[in-house]
Each structure stands twice: as structure tokens, then as C-alpha cells.
Amino acid sequence: MAKVIFFGVLTDVAGTRVRHFNGAASVKELLLLIEGEYPEIIHYDYRIAVNNEFIDGDLPLSESDEVSFMPPFAGG
């Protein structure tokens, strides 16, 4: 079961900050589950991090992985 953490505006899209998803063996599969639950998420830009490291593309997931969905941040 992957632990998913939503940040920023994505928390509003998901209606929660933390959610657990079963049945995703990869980031791609997890993304399909999330888009199925929260279809409006496709309208937002975000990066994905697995265990606090940004990824590009797909990656296998284990049950202990923590996946973060983060919109662009502005700062100073």
C-alpha cells in the first residue's frame, strides 16, 4: 500500500493531504488510480517524488514507499 502525500493546491483537489492506495506496482499504475479518483488533477502541473527524491518517468513501487505529488513552488 503506497502512502501518497498531496501538497499545495493538490490537497484541495484530492480533498485530503494523505491517502493510501492499494494495487499499484509502479508510479504509472498509481498515477492511473489517482487520475481515476481525482480526474481534475490532470489540469495541474506537479512533480512526483518517491521517498523524497524527484523522479521522471516510471518506477516500481513497494508497499513501504511514500509518493509525493507537488505543484510548482514559488519562493524567495
Check which CATH number belongs to the domain holding 59 and give it. 3.10.20.30
Q: Which residue has the cell 502541473?
A: 45
Please state the pTM of the whole predicted model: 0.91
Name the nearest CA neighbour of 14 among 49, 46, 59.
46
Tens-place pLDDT, residues 9-62:
999 999 999 999 998 999 999 999 999 999 999 999 999 999 999 999 999 999
Parent domain of 35: 2-70
Domain assignment present for residue 57? The answer is: yes
Domain assignment present for residue 76? The answer is: no
Domain count, the chain: 1
End-to-end CA distance of the chain: 36
Q: How confident is the model at residue 76 (pLDDT cuts 50, 70, 90)?
A: low
57's CB contacts (< 8 A; 6+ apart) are 27
